[in-house]
Amino acid sequence: MKTAILIIQCPDQKGIVAAVSDFLFVNKGNILEIDQHVDQAMGMFFMRAAWELESFALAKEEIGTVFWEKVGKDFRMEYNLHFNSPKPKMALFVSKLSHCLFDILSRYYSGQFEVEIPLVISNHLDLKEVVDNFGIPFHHIPTSNANKAEAEKKQLDLLKSHDVDFIVLARYMQILSGDFIQHYPNQIINIHHSFLPAFVGAKPYHAAYERGVKIIGATAHYVTEVLDAGPIIEQDVARVRHHNSVSDLVQMGQDVEKVVLSKAIRYHLGRKIFPFGNKTVIFY
Amino acid sequence: MKTAILIIQCPDQKGIVAAVSDFLFVNKGNILEIDQHVDQAMGMFFMRAAWELESFALAKEEIGTVFWEKVGKDFRMEYNLHFNSPKPKMALFVSKLSHCLFDILSRYYSGQFEVEIPLVISNHLDLKEVVDNFGIPFHHIPTSNANKAEAEKKQLDLLKSHDVDFIVLARYMQILSGDFIQHYPNQIINIHHSFLPAFVGAKPYHAAYERGVKIIGATAHYVTEVLDAGPIIEQDVARVRHHNSVSDLVQMGQDVEKVVLSKAIRYHLGRKIFPFGNKTVIFY
Amino acid sequence: MKTAILIIQCPDQKGIVAAVSDFLFVNKGNILEIDQHVDQAMGMFFMRAAWELESFALAKEEIGTVFWEKVGKDFRMEYNLHFNSPKPKMALFVSKLSHCLFDILSRYYSGQFEVEIPLVISNHLDLKEVVDNFGIPFHHIPTSNANKAEAEKKQLDLLKSHDVDFIVLARYMQILSGDFIQHYPNQIINIHHSFLPAFVGAKPYHAAYERGVKIIGATAHYVTEVLDAGPIIEQDVARVRHHNSVSDLVQMGQDVEKVVLSKAIRYHLGRKIFPFGNKTVIFY
Amino acid sequence: MKTAILIIQCPDQKGIVAAVSDFLFVNKGNILEIDQHVDQAMGMFFMRAAWELESFALAKEEIGTVFWEKVGKDFRMEYNLHFNSPKPKMALFVSKLSHCLFDILSRYYSGQFEVEIPLVISNHLDLKEVVDNFGIPFHHIPTSNANKAEAEKKQLDLLKSHDVDFIVLARYMQILSGDFIQHYPNQIINIHHSFLPAFVGAKPYHAAYERGVKIIGATAHYVTEVLDAGPIIEQDVARVRHHNSVSDLVQMGQDVEKVVLSKAIRYHLGRKIFPFGNKTVIFY
């Protein structure tokens, strides 16, 4: 089934839902999903509508223009229009840890993600074989503080040449430069292995162990220039006890990380996430 | 703030959201919340809209009629209109266990529930003092299989004389007759102390212990004539281990029961639950 | 059933379990529960044993001395001996919020806690009626930065005159002085309304809302001189979404707070918690 | 580090812990973990002790005999002695669904499981490539009601020829015969895609959808002759809502299934599970 998804964000005022739903109705859109949210504190309106394209009165190419003229302009909307075909292109960045990579690739394998993965980039060779087995091109770009600018240039060239839409850092242990991030605003998803904002930075499981917490967690978020401080997409936790060592925490935490990261990817692919300020509205 | 809530249920077709949101817009309704759901399998549409009454163009009394003429009739809608004033009236039925009763009354005390509690009915005297301390009339109606019809008659008379809107069985250990239930269809909330449909009937914690489950649960549901089989409103669980005795399970389970039951009451009070068939749509 | 509980902490070495279990065996102790833990990183051994007193070969009064001579001395043990009678004495400190107070008192009412509550102390009068209804003496001691020393003096006098064993801060919104805390080391339990170490200090629900977290939490911990940094006893969480306001977070969080605090009290009453350094070993 | 694990089960009586811990102490065993449990209702004692082999006074071969003479005989113990080398051998049975298989193999790949996987058996060819990529022999044994006895004969021959210790049914959709099961009592782990005992049998996600539950689950259990009724090892759950379709439930449930199954494997590998009657004691 061919579908369209319309994503809207604008200052709140009366009549928005009526205007958008009327636009879809008069053009014979068969609505599949419709969600809206008003952030009262910020006076912002958010809406997501998905409908069938087949019976729709407007051609795919003209929907955007007509919508802007009839509805968007009056409400000063920021909007995006997405179609479920062609599939978006996702790049994976990995280092040495395999658990998130396997989780993502096994979902990709079974068709759970509506996505293409044109390439995997890593600063190490450890996971090359895993990626090869899934028939995905693996690019080894060693990265150090010394060659960072150069390495990121290579990465960006690869990403651009493959028309990559968004990037998933599947336990990629390098910090991206602000310059790099600006090429993909709110299009880089990272998994941090703690329950943010607790334990920002390196070695969060060690920090959790030292603090004696009874619950550990993981956080998927969009990458911004401030480390581990971008808009949170998804979090989950696991209960730990006094007899759990740091390596137990690592292992138990990895089970949380991979589920949280894959959920974030699913929401992103479904165009269900609205980042605004440092938060996210998510219609799941 | 005075608010109205409109609850709609009808066969799905194009244009419903547009029609309802347009009705609210042209009458200058400031929408506070709007949610809708289509059950694709059953072809049913569900919608809930809440808006401010103050600035609304229609008087409270005429909203229903105008809505039916302009919108409801065409779509063959079942709808209900609620106002947040006066508060709905809730009756509590209890037996001997105090945990759910205390949880509900302490929320009532702190103003968390927008409700009136005109009376508590019990087949035992154990909890009279608790109820007295909250200044709520306590009615003792002993119940047995022998006097059930007579007892239910007394209960119904009391409920009707207090204009009770809905009933919460806060671990009331008696089974209500089909006749009684028909007076309050989808208006009687029960808490069952298991993760339904596992462990229907009496002594579910004992049954859970015998089966050796690793997780126990509780289920709030609307009461229907089939025991423990009505539409489920809310469920939650707690993890147990081999060293937990039946009485541990009872204690751990009670913590789940009271939270689950109070959530169900909150959803019911917010007019957020749509029972249909043997299921519920809940906009929370 | 009269029972004894022995709590042991000492540097780890071979033979401790054998020595302690042999001591219980030769004195005809019927062991009910026995747990031990070795913190490998710190080289510390922890043990808790509970047994029936009735058939025990040693009189209640001599157990401690004999144990020290036969076992404790050789292993340089710190140990404590507890009996389930008389019940320990718990003081509650409250301010204006009733949810934790109600939860604790309703468990006390139903006999879930093996404890006496000789008094409740508050810096406000709001909850006096609630406490009165449970037949517990309520002491109003207004507290400000100006009169803090004097107020704490009054509190300590009351606590001492009632032989209070431990204190529960049930959303008592005042910070206790280091001097006060030293009178009850690891005997003051606080509930902090965040998932520590995230959101230390005042208004954690506001901070959680601002950060856009997807999960909120609560933490019960022993009070030390460093704010919200004492040994964590118990934590739990609740899932929140973008449409939840700060006041939703407060309400959802309160459900977590009361369950977490009551669990911490239960563990403390069961002599199941070993604070060491800034962490806890808990045998539950 | 070479370690030994002793697993004990016997009627409860005084002195067992003392006798076992003394045995380990006099033979200079450096205890790593020791856990015990008394099932009061059944009067049964369970114990698990792990210690370092290197400094132990008894040779690996004589531990069992000496233990029986000195301790086991007097207490009529059933006991098992395990060493962490050589690794146990695990066979996987799969059909068409890949999520549990990938999860297990990715943990195996990263060294999380101390196990050998000499073979995977499937009644379909779908997952052959996945298994091949991990370098594990894949055996295709088509199974139908008609050829079941013959197919099971082939399976058993393969298992025996590879000295398989235990079997994991990773969403193997066939029911094993009682005869087959008797070859591996409490050595066959199945993952059932519901929160047992709810939704026994086929299509549990459909049944959960029809019943309108708000939480779904998965259950790992040992296989016995009664379908889905063997001793439960581990369970977990996921929250669902009214807008989740059956296929959503399947997808959300698979995330639970794979984590639950892998936990069960980890406990089994750690010799942490004591099946007794229809329940399990698990020291985790």
User: What are the boundaries of each domain within chain D?
Assistant: 3-83, 89-282
Verify cis geometry, omega within 30 degrees of 0, for the bond prior to A197.
yes
Give the separation between CA A88 and CA A112, rounded to whole angstroms: 14
The verdict on B270 touching A (C-beta cutoff 8 Å) is no
Verify cis geometry, omega within 30 degrees of 0, for the bond prior to C142.
no
Q: What is the structure's pLDDT at A269?
A: 97
The verdict on A17 touching D (C-beta cutoff 8 Å) is no
The pLDDT-based confidence of A1 (bands split at 50, 70, 90) is confident
The pLDDT-based confidence of B269 (bands split at 50, 70, 90) is very high
The verdict on A41 touching B (C-beta cutoff 8 Å) is no
CA of C149: how far to CAs of B242, C142, C163, in Å? 49, 12, 21
The verdict on A49 touching B (C-beta cutoff 8 Å) is no
pLDDT digits (tens, 9 = 90+) for C1-24: 899 999 999 999 999 999 999 999
Helices D99-109 and D246-269, axial angle in degrees (round to 10)? 40
Q: Read off the pLDDT of each residue in B196-213 and give the average, rounded to a whole number.
A: 95
Which CATH superfamily does the domain covering B89-282 fall into? Formyl transferase, N-terminal domain (3.40.50.170)
Give the separation between CA D147 and CA C63, rounded to whole angstroms: 69
The verdict on D31 touching C (C-beta cutoff 8 Å) is yes
Q: What is the structure's pLDDT at D101?
A: 98
- Counting as contact any 3 or more CB pairs under 8 A, the partners of D are A, B, C
Provide the token pair at A101. Answer: 């990579």
Instruction: Give residue for tokens 């009632």.
Output: C162
Nearest to C110 among B98, B106, B109 (CB): B98
Q: What is the structure's pLDDT at A284?
A: 87
- Counting as contact any 3 or more CB pairs under 8 A, the partners of A are B, C, D
The pLDDT-based confidence of B284 (bands split at 50, 70, 90) is confident
Nearest to B37 among D214, D243, D281 (CB): D243
* Residue B217 identity: G
Percentages helix, strand, coil for chain A, rounded to the nearest 5?
30, 30, 40
Interface of C with B in 72-101 (CB under 8 A): 97-99
Residues of D with active-site annotation:
228
Percentages helix, strand, coil for chain C, rounded to the nearest 5?
30, 30, 40
From first CA to last CA, the distance across chain B in angstroms is 20
Is the CB of residue A48 less than 8 Å from the CB of residue A272?
yes
Give the separation between CA A209 and CA A213, rounded to whole angstroms: 7
pLDDT digits (tens, 9 = 90+) for C206-248: 999 999 999 999 999 999 999 999 999 999 999 999 999 999 9
Q: What is the structure's pLDDT at B159?
A: 98
Q: Read off the pLDDT of each residue in B73-81 and give the average, rounded to a whole number.
A: 97
pLDDT digits (tens, 9 = 90+) for D68-99: 999 999 999 999 999 998 999 999 999 999 99
Angle ∠(A242,C235,C106) on CA atoms, nearest 5: 120
Provide the token pair at C115. Answer: 């404890």
The verdict on A234 touching C (C-beta cutoff 8 Å) is yes
Task: Tell me which chain A residues have a C-beta less than 8 angstroms from the C-beta of C214.
Answer: 232-235
Number of residues that make up chain D: 284
Phi and psi at residue D199, to the nearest 5°: 60, 50
* ipTM of predicted complex: 0.96
Q: What is the structure's pLDDT at B62?
A: 97
- Counting as contact any 3 or more CB pairs under 8 A, the partners of B are A, C, D
Return the number of other C-beta atoms located less than 10 Å from residue B201's C-beta.
11
pLDDT digits (tens, 9 = 90+) for D242-269: 999 999 999 999 999 999 999 999 999 9
On the question of pLDDT at B121 being above 90, the answer is yes
CA of A178: how far to CAs of A184, B142, C55, in Å? 10, 73, 72
Chain mean pLDDT for chain C: 96
pLDDT digits (tens, 9 = 90+) for C129-154: 999 999 999 999 999 889 999 999 99
Residue of C103, C165, C179, C228 marked active site: C228
On the question of pLDDT at B145 being above 90, the answer is no
Nearest to C212 among A37, A215, A231 (CB): A231
- Which chain A residue has the Cα nearest residue C276? A212
Indicate the CATH number for domain A3-83. 3.30.70.260
pLDDT digits (tens, 9 = 90+) for A192-230: 999 999 999 899 999 999 999 999 999 999 999 999 999
Tell me if D37 and B243 make a contact (CB, 8 A cut-off): yes
Tell me if C195 and A198 make a contact (CB, 8 A cut-off): yes
- Which chain C residue has the Cα nearest residue D17? C21
Tell me if C22 and D18 make a contact (CB, 8 A cut-off): yes
pLDDT digits (tens, 9 = 90+) for C51-106: 999 999 999 999 999 999 999 999 999 999 999 989 999 999 999 999 999 999 99
Q: Read off the pLDDT of each residue in D33-57 and give the average, rounded to a whole number.
A: 94
Return the number of other C-beta atoms located less than 10 Å from residue D8's C-beta.
22
Instruction: Please give the residue that has the higher pLDDT: either D284 or B224.
Output: B224
The verdict on B25 touching A (C-beta cutoff 8 Å) is yes
Provide the token pair at B165. Answer: 């809107």
Q: What is the structure's pLDDT at D239?
A: 97
pLDDT digits (tens, 9 = 90+) for A82-105: 999 899 999 999 999 999 999 999
On the question of pLDDT at D276 being above 90, the answer is yes
Q: How many residue pairs from chains B and C have C-beta atoms closer than 8 A?
A: 33
Nearest to A14 among B15, B30, B38 (CB): B30
For C16: left if phi > 0, alpha if psi spans -120 to 50, otherwise beta; the answer is alpha
The verdict on B34 touching C (C-beta cutoff 8 Å) is no
Task: Tell me which chain B residues have a C-beta less than 8 angstroms from the C-beta of D232.
Answer: 211-214
Phi and psi at residue B117, to the nearest 5°: -120, 90
Q: What is the structure's pLDDT at B3?
A: 95
